Structures are given as C-alpha cells and as structure tokens.
Amino acid sequence: MHSLYWLRFLRIVVSLFFLLLTSLIFLDPAQWIPGWFTSAVVWPQFAPSVVRFTVSAGLAASGFLLFTLLALLFGRVYCSSICPIGTLQDIISWFKKLFFKTKPLKFARPQNILRYSILALVIISFVFGISLLVNLLDPYSNFGRIMTNLVRPLFLAGGNVLANVLEKNDIFWMPKTTFKLFHASSVGFASGFLLLIGWMSFVRGRLFCNTICPVGSLLGIFSRFAIFKISIDKMACNSCGQCSKVCKAQCINVKHKEVDFSRCVACYNCLDVCPSNGVLYNLNNISLNAKTERNPLKKDKDRRTILKALMIFSAFATTRAFATRTTGGEKPTEIPEEKQNIASPPGSLGHSHFTKKCTACHLCVSICPTHVLQPSFLQYGLHGLMQPYMDYHSGFCNFDCTLCSEICPTGAIKNIAPDDKKLAQLGIAKFIEKNCVVYTDNTDCGACSEHCPTKAVNMVPYKGALTIPLVNEKICIGCGACEYACPTKPYRAIFVEGNILHIKADEPVQDEIVIEKTEEDFPF
C-alpha cells in the first residue's frame, strides 16, 4: 500500500464537501444562509478571487493566492478539490465507469498551443476590460449558471411540492416560490455548457480542464514548477500501465515513464494502483526532470471545432423570452416606456465597473430576496452577456438589503454600507402622465408613491381631491419600487431610466412633525 494512499480519500471527501456547499448557496430558497457564510464558501474559487483582487486587493480576495501557492507546492489541488465543475466531471466519469464497459483512458499528448492561447486571450481581454471570456470559460461561473438556471428552478419546484404536502398537515416552515421570468439565453448557455463538459468528461476524463479551462491552464503553469510532484520510479516501473489507466487527465506516459505534471489535476488515483509501488509523490528532483519531452505541436482539428462551436453558441445564444403582459378589460396604456439604459445593482458603481468585473456566476440572481436581479442578454452589450441587471418587472430593490454586495465573489458588486446604499442612485424614475390611472380614469391610485422608500415619488394635488405622482429626481435612488408597483398595462406609467454611472442621491429632508396640542380627550 502506498504511504500516501489516504490522499485520494481526502480529495474525494473535500471535493464532495465543497460541491455540496457551493450547490447549497445557490439553492437557498429564502435567504436562510447568512451572507458571511456564502462569502466564505466562494472565497477559494479561483477566477472570481483573481477578479476581486483587481478590484480591491485584500484578505477577501486572497483565495487564489492560496491555491497558487498550493500549486507551486503540490500541484493543481484546486482542480480536484475545490472546483465544482471538476468534481461534477469526476462524478460523470464515475457513473460512466459504473454503467458502461469502455476501454480505459490512455496517455494523450498535451494541447499546449490551444490551452495557452485560450489562457492568453482570457487574460489579455480581461486586462483590456472585457470580462466576456472569463465569464464564458471560468468553471465556477459556469457552475453558478448551471445551478441558477437549471438546478434551482427544479429544486424550488420540488420545494413547492414538499411545501404543499406539509401545509396539508398545517406545517408552514417551507416557503413556496414562484418563477416570474425565464431567461432563454442563460438557460440555453448553461445547458450547452453542461452538455459540453458532460460529453467531454464521458469520453476523455478531464479533457476540458486541460484544453479549454483557463484556470486549469494557469495553475498548470505553476504546477509545472511544483516542489512536490508525482513521478514514476523508473527502477520500479515495469510499464504495466495501471497508473495510466486511472489517470483522468491522461498525463502519464507509460512508454517514457514520465508524468506531465502541468496537466495533473491532483486526484491521486494513481498513487495506490501501482503493483510495484512505483508512483512517487515527493520533492521534485530538478536534475531528473530537466529534460522534458517536447511534443510536436500538432493542430487538433477536433478540439478547434469544439471551441468554435462554443464561441458561436455564446454569440447566438437565444434571446430572453419576454414575459408577455396581457391586457384585461381595462383601457390599455398607449405610450411605451422608452428605457435607454438598464440599471446595474447597487454597489456596482455603474455599467463600466460592473461589466468589466462580473463573470456572470449568477450567485446574486439566486440569493436576491426580491428577484430584482435577473440575467441580462444583450442589454449591457455583447461584452456583458448574461451579467445580472435590475429587472423592475420581476421585482424591486429592497431598501434595507445589501445582500448581493456582501456575497459577490468578484467585487463587481462592491461591498456597500447600508447607509451608502440608501443614497446610491442606480437610475431615475421617469413619469409618463398620459399612462397614469389618475390621468386616464380620474381615480386615485398612488401605488408608485406607496412603495417609494424615499418619497421621491410623491402625490401632489391634481383635480379636485385627486393626487398625481411627481418625481423629485434628486432624492430618487432608482430602486424600481414605483415601476414594479405601477398597475397600468401594457405600458407602465413610471419607469426607471438607468444611470450609466451611479451617483449619490440627496438625502430626503425630514423636518420635525409640528405637534399640535394633542387632545386630552377623544375627537368623537
């Protein structure tokens, strides 16, 4: 038995533990999980952590440093323990082994040009302020989209069934949830990605991690120089190939008795399978490894095709299905809301910062208590594909809530103090008088003003005793409560025009209430 056989079990336990936690934070139906816990769970996620480091370097953004250090010491520990897509692929491979009799994997040549080109593209585009490639290729963000757009709806539907059963027995602790909008582009992309890694891991183990994944490629560069490496004891090895058969990274070359450690995902499957105990995991003897084999740089047309397909898919991702608003018996409104810009979430500073730093993991979409945060399609432009925006037909921003800013793993939504949030102007309410019920029907309404947390939308005298909304743009913060509450159909009478750059709104002026002489008796 190999002295380090337990590493494999440790890796399995840790990976399942992290997969479970990372799944849970996306499934929480009613903000049961506190923000600090969610932050802790996403802290080690590599790509978001790097992005966050570029926003504000600090302890909260140091997860990637730990795993860089670990890669320099022991190899790509992140890939088999923390990465949720890594674990997901392992589970698929495991099922395959369980149910299908197929030939075991064998050594494959590295696709260095492909993987390092992708990595270079991702880094260069990010440096130039385009987060789209990180967004499309980061494994954690893809996992987030799979959870938010595919698993969460099913989970909550199951929760509703459970809630109904419990409620029949007078138990009300399980809340029910409704889905208001369906985002075809995000659902489509998440499904496509799931199919892609499903297929890749089914046929070739960790192929994705060693050809496409930018995190894998970057950690691979570090692990190339790792202090502790897995290698083959050339004296003990009799080229039986057992180690190579269990290597899902296809990086053990039995013929040359060499391990391409840059592609090793540190799963430790190989350590204990060698009949002659010839798989070593120890201090890297530099002199032995100085002569690395150089593979011919052959273009692989298959993989190019996969990549192309992925890019084309993302570009032509299906459009968001707009929730149709049917008209009842009432008079339909006639003037369309001409929204020039959508609003980005509070703490995101504005479109520029947000779109540069968001990797569209949709964690905020999953945890937002009012469901105002929804995945966009092209509202921010192609570079902002699938990044969340404030959808005021789905909900409105809760005045006292800063949850998205607490949990955003990339710092795209920067941590914002509640008092600052209450003055962060994401947009400005615009009133369309000719759509308003008070104007069209001469009856009271005021739903917009009711919901307004700053009374920026105030009811002022109109005809007779009627009142009509008036917007004080200086104290409006663009939370969208008015737009959400407005009852007119199909076009609303008030909507929020997003601010490209968030600014600080004025504080609502609050005089003391002049206390008239309080009566000592009853007024009746």
Partner 1 sequence: MKRRDFIVNSVSAGLVTGASLSLSNLTSLAAATLSVQNDWDLVAVRDGEPEVMFDRAIASLGGMSKYVKKGQKVVVKPNIGWDVSPERAGNTNPKLVARIIRHCLNAGASEVYVFDNTCDAWNLCYKNSGIEKAVKDAGGKIVPGNTESYYKPIQIPRGKSLKEAKVHELILTSDVFINVPVLKHHSSASVTLAMKNLMGIVWDRRYWHRNDLHQCIADMVSWRKPTLNVIDGYRVMMRNGPRGVSEADVLNMKQLIVSADIVAADAAAALIFGSKPEDIPHIRIAHDMKLGNMQLDKLKINRIKI
Residues that bind partner 1 (CB under 8 A): 30-31, 160, 164, 170, 172, 175-178, 328, 330, 369-370, 395, 398-401, 437, 441, 443-447, 449-455, 458-459, 465, 467, 485, 487-489, 508, 510-513, 515, 518, 521-524
Q: Which is nearer to partner 1, 366 or 379 (CB)?
A: 366
CB of 186 to partner 1, least distance (A): 22
Q: For partner 1, which is the closer residue by CB, 82 or 426?
A: 426
Between 100 and 522, CB nearer to partner 1: 522
Q: Identify which of residues 58 and 175 has a Cβ nearer to partner 1 in the complex.
A: 175
Give least dist CB 38 to partner 1, A.
Answer: 16
Interatomic CA distance for residues 365 and 166, integer angstroms: 27
Q: What is the smallest separation between the CB atom of 390 and partner 1, expressed in angstroms?
A: 15
Q: How far is the CB of 459 from partner 1 (least distance, A)?
A: 5
Residue holding tokens 């990086």?
251
Smallest separation (angstroms) from partner 1 to the CB of 166: 11
Structure tokens at 221: 């560069």
Closest approach of partner 1 to the CB of residue 401, in Å: 7
Judged by beta carbon, residue 60 or residue 423, the one nearer partner 1 is: 423
Count Cβ atoms within 10 A of the Cβ of residue 464 and give its class: 0-12 exposed, 13-18 middle, 19 or more buried: exposed
Q: How far is the CB of 20 from partner 1 (least distance, A)?
A: 24
Q: Which is nearer to partner 1, 127 or 465 (CB)?
A: 465
Minimum distance, C-beta of residue 31 to partner 1, in the bound complex (Å): 6
Give the angle 386-391-394 at the CA atoms, nearest 5°: 115
Q: CA 367, CA 371: separation in Å to the nearest integer?
A: 8
Find, among 212, 218, 187, the residue nearest to 199 by Cα.
212
Give the residue among 426, 419, 392 at the shortest CA–CA distance from 495: 392
Comparing CA positions, the residue from 489, 495, 484 lying closest to residue 332 is 489
Q: 82 or 486, CB closer to partner 1?
A: 486
Per DSSP, the residues of 8-63 read HHHHHHHHHHHHHHHHHHHH-SSS-S-HHHHHHHHTT-HHHHHHHHHH--SGGG-H
**Single-letter amino acid, residue 327:** T
How far from 6 is each of 3, 11, 152, 167, 286, CA to CA, in Å?
8, 9, 34, 46, 26
Question: 291: which 2 tokens?
Answer: 């002569």
CB of 163 to partner 1, least distance (A): 9
Q: Which contiguous run of DSSP H or E holds residue 107?
A: none
Task: Give the largest CA-CA distance in the chain.
Answer: 104
Report the residue number, 192 or 369, with the smaller CB distance to partner 1: 369
| Spatial separation of the C-alpha atoms in residues 156 and 162, rounded to whole Å | 10
Please say which residue, 360 or 368, places its beta carbon nearer to partner 1.
368
